[in-house]
Amino acid sequence: MSPFGFTLTATDGAARVGRITTVHGPITTPAFMPVGTAGTVKAMLPASVRDTGAEIILGNTYHLMLRPGAEQVAAFGGLHQFMNWPGPILTDSGGYQVMSLAGLRKIDEDGVTFRSHLDGSRHALSPERSIAIQHHLDATITMVLDECTPFPASHEEAGESMRRSMRWAARSKAAFAERPGYGLFGIVQGGVYPDLRRESVTRLAEIGFDGYAVGGLAVGEGQAVMLETLDATVPAMPADRPRYLMGVGKPADLVAAVARGIDMFDCVLPTRSGRNGQAFTRRGALNLRNSQHKTDAAPLDADCACPACRDHSRAYLHHLIKAKEILGAMLMTWHNLQYYQDLMRDLRAATAAGRLEKYIDDFQRDQGLDGDGHRSDTAPN
Amino acid sequence: MSPFGFTLTATDGAARVGRITTVHGPITTPAFMPVGTAGTVKAMLPASVRDTGAEIILGNTYHLMLRPGAEQVAAFGGLHQFMNWPGPILTDSGGYQVMSLAGLRKIDEDGVTFRSHLDGSRHALSPERSIAIQHHLDATITMVLDECTPFPASHEEAGESMRRSMRWAARSKAAFAERPGYGLFGIVQGGVYPDLRRESVTRLAEIGFDGYAVGGLAVGEGQAVMLETLDATVPAMPADRPRYLMGVGKPADLVAAVARGIDMFDCVLPTRSGRNGQAFTRRGALNLRNSQHKTDAAPLDADCACPACRDHSRAYLHHLIKAKEILGAMLMTWHNLQYYQDLMRDLRAATAAGRLEKYIDDFQRDQGLDGDGHRSDTAPN
């Protein structure tokens, strides 16, 4: 069985094209991971997710530990078998969702206790328990438990929070069962403070991980601050390991982060926005709910080969969304995931060809336009 | 362009196998038509509906006239183009849904006026308006406007209601624009009264239609009375035209009606029940919500080739349904539509082979069993 590996195949400035090898198959980077919260990428058959070009998806420890339960998933041979996704799966630690349960959770040095949003039952998540759950899920890539430092936070608050996350990272590493082709990623915290971010990178690198994530961004700080933080963080991260920007983001965020050397992304935006009628395209975002689409026979995105664009009109999609039809959620989700995968493919190709700067210029020019060449009705960022 | 035709290719007792030729392609009968209420068979891509074996679907005039509007559909070249279903589509007259709007509708000799369930706006539906709307939709098979006689109804009430429906049928025929490959069906009414049913058939046959439907059943009278009414009605119906039992039904209803010479069916049961977690199988109905399925690694139906049965366990389907995931609705709908199409295929094969009686004996024996060989947790009828 091959080890968990990462090979760079091309670079262009800070941007990289690479290949992660795992026990469940390879991942070409930069990669966008569709979010499969509760054992399903919402409104998509697994085969359709794969058809968009996705090689890896994300599963949520918090949701799966509560329902159907980690041991239940383990009894079915892991999450891959349970949901019929044979490719790589990255699971989060559960921390982010638990920390979001305002009023329902308590954090201390050992970990976090919380009440289920489903039935109010009490649960505890420690670094060790999070790793154990992710083992039950048979995660290809396991994430350490961390605290997503709230925004805004003072330098002192962000520092204390980051240092506890680093202690949790060491405990996570100790609890992780090394197996060929499986990986464990650490998570850089430190808020918007460059010195804390670099301190966090140093501590994680001392522990040693198969990949390094940037956490605690896209939490309200805005794109400019997020990119400044990446500028201060990414160059300090080990170059020979995958770099994963968690929970990001809009297409323009992905483009900017790839240019800064990020290799992996996840975000609910394409799936959640799709269910709400928002479509992402090369020419900006469109809200298909808007009445201007009611009589529009054009495809959502003439450049896209997904079933929504290939087989249907904007008017039909508008109708489905207005009528709250499940098919509307299905088609819009498919399109957005296809767009995100196509975007990653294009970013890889541009990087490999040494023309990323030109690609980004064109991308930024086009993003302000909708499919008709007009200004988009939804701000792209 | 070929005419709207119907050819019998085999019979076994009263049961028939036939072929309807239409401008939008052929339909092999007996046929089950999935219901595409608002321009979509809920939770299914059109190509997936076709993959189950369905050759014709049903569209609802009531829903489509309110949203997106018949003229809007016409502007897109008809319902086939609008929803990307190139095959035959039968549209109902809108009458059944309008009559169900208790307190919101008023019926008189001219037709029915009603308020939209969407926004309370006032609308009128007459035989002529219903036909015009179905022309806008480009229905392959158009249904006359009728009154679905409530159950129970006295002989006098059922007779008056039926005779008004017959006057509406004549007006519908007069309003219908004959075009090669398009058909207009009359609807037999008369409640549970054999003499009224036969009178209705006689009146419709005098007007002359391309097919004849049996309406006003499956409205609470129970299977036994429904079958008695079919026994009194179907033999009187023209043998050289398709016979369509509207709004029926459970698998056992379909089997019994095919044996009595019915050629076409529609029902929301497979799609609606699927969204609610109920699955139909050769061995009876199953409710995947039930906790007994939580740890069951077996497929929903080992005899079925649909994605739900081919790629997933009962435990996973149970999880999706409990978590209210869209994928649960998608997979369960697909399975039920596949089961209904497989059932029709088997009924056609048994009829063509002259072994329908044996098939029905086996079917009835199996229906009381679930996939484990136990009594089903949902009564099959």
Q: pLDDT by residue for chain A (381 residues), tens digit each? A: 568 999 999 999 999 999 999 999 999 999 999 999 999 999 999 999 999 999 999 999 999 999 999 999 999 999 999 999 999 999 999 999 998 887 788 999 999 999 999 999 999 999 999 999 999 999 999 999 999 998 999 999 999 999 999 999 999 999 999 999 999 999 999 999 999 999 999 999 999 999 999 999 999 999 999 999 999 999 999 999 999 999 999 999 999 999 999 999 999 999 999 999 999 999 999 999 999 999 999 999 999 999 999 999 999 999 999 999 999 999 999 999 999 999 999 999 999 999 999 999 999 999 875 544 444 444 433
Provide the pLDDT confidence category of residue B235 given band limits of 50, 70 and 90: very high
Please list, in sequence order, all residues whose beta carbon lies within 8 angstroms of the beta carbon of residue A252, skipping any fewer than 6 positions away. A223, A363, A364, A367, A380, A381
Residue B294 is nearest to which of A39, A68, A327, comparing CB atoms? A68
Cα(B275)–Cα(B294) distance, rounded to whole angstroms? 18
Measure the CA–CA gap between B340 and B183, rounded to whole angstroms: 24
- A38: contact with B, CB 8 A cutoff: yes
- Which pLDDT value is given to residue A2? 60
Q: What is the pLDDT of residue B329?
A: 98
Q: A288 touching B, CB under 8 A?
A: no
Using DSSP, state whether A246 is helix, strand or coil.
Answer: coil
Please classify residue B302 by burial: count the beta carbons closer than 10 Å to its beta carbon, then call 0-12 exposed, 13-18 middle and 19+ buried. Answer: exposed
Chain B hits for A38, CB-CB cut-off 8 Å, are: 319, 323, 325
Which residue, among A249, A245, A247, A255, has the nearest Cα to A366 in the 3D structure? A255
Instruction: Identify the residue among B50, B296, B319, B322 best suited for mutation to test binding to A, counting A beta carbons within 10 A and taking the highest.
Output: B319
Q: How many helices (H) and strands (E) does chain A have?
A: 15, 16
Distance CA B295, CA A83 (A): 14
Residue from B370, B341, B261 nearest B11 by CA:
B261
Query: Edge-to-edge strand order for the sheet containing B112-115?
Result: B105-107, B112-115, B122-125
Q: Has residue B326 got a pLDDT over 60?
A: yes
Which three-class secondary structure state does DSSP give residue A204? helix
Chain A and chain B share a number of CB contacts under 8 A equal to 101
> What pLDDT is attached to residue B99?
87
Across the interface, which of A82, A307, A322 has its CB nearest the CB of B316?
Answer: A82
Smallest CA–CA distance, residue B360 to chain A, in Å, is 35
The three-point CA angle A339-A341-A343 to 5° equals 70
> First-to-last CA distance in chain A?
43
pLDDT at residue B6 greater than cutoff 50? yes
Whether residues A72 and B294 touch (CB distance < 8 A) is answered with yes
Mutate: best of B35, B316, B320, partner A, most A CBs <10 A: B316
Closest CA to B263 of B59, B11, B44: B11
Within 8 A by CB and 6+ apart from B161, the residues are: B147, B149, B153, B189, B191
In whole angstroms, give the CA distance from residue A128 to residue A126.
5
pLDDT above 90: residue B1: no
Split at pLDDT 50, 70, 90, the class of B369 is low
Whether residue B370 lies in the annotated active site: no
> Which chain B residues are closer than 8 Å to A312 by Cβ?
84
For position A379, what pLDDT does the model report? 41
Q: Which of B96, B97, B99, B63 is nearest to B79 (CA)?
A: B63
Whether residue B271 is predicted with pLDDT greater than 70 in this model: the reply is yes
| Partner A contacted by B272 (CB < 8 A) | no
Write phi, then psi, for A373 (nearest 5 degrees): 85, 5
Distance of CA A218 to the CA centre of its chain: 11
| Mutate: best of A35, A45, A48, A291, partner B, most B CBs <10 A | A45
Q: Is A325 on the interface with B (CB under 8 A)?
A: yes
Whether A311 and B75 lie within 8 Å, measured CB to CB? no
Residue in A42, A75, A319 nearest the CB of B325 = A42
pLDDT score recorded for residue B154: 97
- CB contact under 8 Å between B39 and A294, yes or no, is no
pLDDT band at B378 (very low <50, low <70, confident <90, very high): very low
Residue range B135-155: average pLDDT? 96
| Range in B98-102, B108-112, B268-272 the model is least confident about | B98-102
Question: Which positions in chain A touch B315 (Cβ < 8 Å)?
Answer: 68, 72, 76, 82
Q: What is the pLDDT of residue A102?
A: 78
Triad B253, B213, B265: Cα angle to 5°: 40
For the segment B51-70, the average pLDDT, to the nearest whole number, is: 97
| Cβ distance of A38 and B325 shorter than 8 Å | yes
Which residues of A are the active-site residues? Answer: 92, 266
Determine the Cα–Cα distance for residues B127 and B146; give it in Å rounded to an integer.
Answer: 8
pLDDT of A19-78, one tens digit each? Answer: 999 999 999 999 999 999 999 999 999 999 999 999 999 999 999 999 999 999 999 999
| Mutation site, A48, A118, A327, interface B, largest B CB count within 10 A | A327
Search chain B and give the residue with CA nearest A327: B43
For B376, which DSSP code? P
Average pLDDT over residues B73-79: 97
Nearest to B316 among A44, A45, A83 (CB): A83
Sequence-separated (6 or more) residues with CB below 8 Å from residue A170: A207
Domains of chain A, each with CATH number or no CATH: 5-266 (3.20.20.105), 274-367 (no CATH)
What integer pLDDT is reported at residue B373 of this predicted model? 45
Let me know if B266 is a catalytic residue.
yes
What pLDDT score was predicted for residue B376? 45
The per-residue pLDDT of chain B, averaged, comes to 95
B72 contacts in A (CB within 8 Å)? 294-295, 315
CA distance A80 to chain B (A): 11
In angstroms, the Cα distances linking B4 to B25, B228, B344 are 10, 31, 22
The C-alpha atoms of residue A135 and residue A142 are separated, in whole angstroms, by 8
- Chain A residues whose beta carbon lies within 8 Å of the beta carbon of residue B84: 311-312, 316
Closest chain A residue to B68, measured at CA: A319
The DSSP secondary structure of B47-97, one letter per residue, reads: HHHHHTT---EEE-HHHHHHTT-HHHHHHTTSHHHHHT--S-EEE--SHHH
Set B12, B146, B266, B342: catalytic member: B266
